Amino acid sequence: MSWYRNTVWFVKGLREYTRGGYESASKHFNPADVEVDVAGRSFLVTGANSGIGKATAKEIARRGGTVHLVCRNKERAEVAKEEIVTETGNQNIFLHIVDISNPKEIWKFAEKFQNEHKLNVLINNAGCMVNNRELTEDGLEKNFATNTLGTYIMTTALMPLLEKAADARVITVSSGGMLVQKLNIADLQSGHGPFDGTMVYAQNKRQQVVLTEQWAKAHRNIHFSVMHPGWADTPAVRSSMPDFYERMKNSLRTEAQGADTVLWLAVSAEATKLPSGLFFQDRQPVPTHLPLAYTHSPPEDEEKLMELLEEFSQKFKSVSPG
């Protein structure tokens, strides 16, 4: 059935995920939803030095929010911070250098952050698509370490801070590519069979959808959401999917268009009127499975994913410095 899923997803993408799809959907947006003042609220954005993360951080900064940029590369992050401060006039922009593929670094960062800051909204945007199987220094497959385990640890480590906050939210930037994948908990690190970076990424993005649904059930005081930004022209797409980029570059969304729903989920009052745990595209909840795609998983597999990630998480917490 994979050929069916891939074909249906691509056809859907051509219709909805491109710039034309955004322009069509945005005719129904209410601009007032995001014309809000968020001064006094604290936002943390991972992967914030480029692409959708930077576009989101900039728009939050324009609205007066305190923004914490969590980035891996110090030089690029400093350039992004300066750009955001200059363009928005907002001085409450803070920079934290953290490699989201390194669990020990995330734990160390989260412990320090909780002692020094408050947090209202966490935006899990950092991600990667490594097309050949690479291991981190901890022996973790890099896509899994960044997209799934990194997202899991960052969120769970900051959960106590979020639980204390007013109108707390967690938004995770996923991908419509997850629609072609059924949750696979038997091979989380893609060590069996041929390695296809695009499909590994899609599997990680399916895992993020499951994480969001599970967190929403367990933490009623926090509003969780996961979203697909559409096909946007970002540095990550250019470097990780050069063939796709060349074929689609004239139809791709801008970074700001890709970030629009992230911003809406982060700042609008309308977003939290909808149930926690949903998957969004262009400010609307959308299904997490294609028709007839057979990508549904039994509840025990979804619960097992959470157990396995918690085991990984605690293993690295026990050796974290500090």
Q: Give the tens place of pLDDT for each residue, 25-37.
A: 999 999 999 999 9
Q: What is the rounded distance in angstroms from the CA atom of residue 6 to the CA atom of residue 24?
A: 24
**Catalytic residue list contains 201:** yes
* Within a domain: 321: no
Helix/strand/coil for 298:
coil
- What distance in Å separates the CA atoms of residue 261 and residue 240, rounded to the nearest whole number? 23
- Calculate the CA 53 to chain-centre distance: 9
Q: How far apart are CA 42 and CA 106, in angstroms?
A: 19
- CB count in 10 Å sphere of residue 154: 26
- Quickly list H helices, 131-223: 142-143, 151-163, 197-218
Looking at the predicted structure, is the pLDDT value of residue 86 above 80?
yes
Plot region of 48 (φ>0 → left; ψ -120 to 50 → alpha; else → beta): alpha
Q: Of 21, 225, 24, which is closest to residue 121 (Cα–Cα)?
A: 225
In a domain, 111, yes or no: yes
pLDDT of 281 reads: 97
Is the residue at 70 inside a domain?
Answer: yes
Across the range 167-174, mean pLDDT stands at: 98
pLDDT of 1 over the 70 cut: no
Q: How confident is the model at residue 322 (pLDDT cuts 50, 70, 90)?
A: very low
Domain count, the chain: 1
Looking only at the bridges linking them, the beta strands covering 284-285 and 278-281 are: antiparallel
CATH number at residue 273: 3.40.50.720
User: What are the counts of helices (DSSP H) followed by strands (DSSP E) for the chain?
Assistant: 12, 8
Q: Which amino acid is at 276?
A: S
Q: Is there a domain that residue 110 lies in?
A: yes
Q: Is 165:118 a contact under the CB 8 Å cutoff?
A: yes
pLDDT recorded at residue 321: 46
Q: Is 2 exposed, middle or buried (0-12, 13-18, 19+ CB in 10 A)?
A: exposed
pLDDT by residue (tens digit) across 250-294?
889 999 999 999 999 999 999 999 999 999 999 999 999 998 889
The residue from 17, 22, 152, 201 that is catalytic is 201
Work out whether strand 42-46 and strand 284-285 pair parallel, antiparallel, or are unpaired. Answer: unpaired
With respect to residue 143, please indicate whether it lies within any of the assigned structural domains: yes
Residue 67 lies in a domain: yes
Is 62 domain-assigned? yes
59 lies in which domain range?
3-315
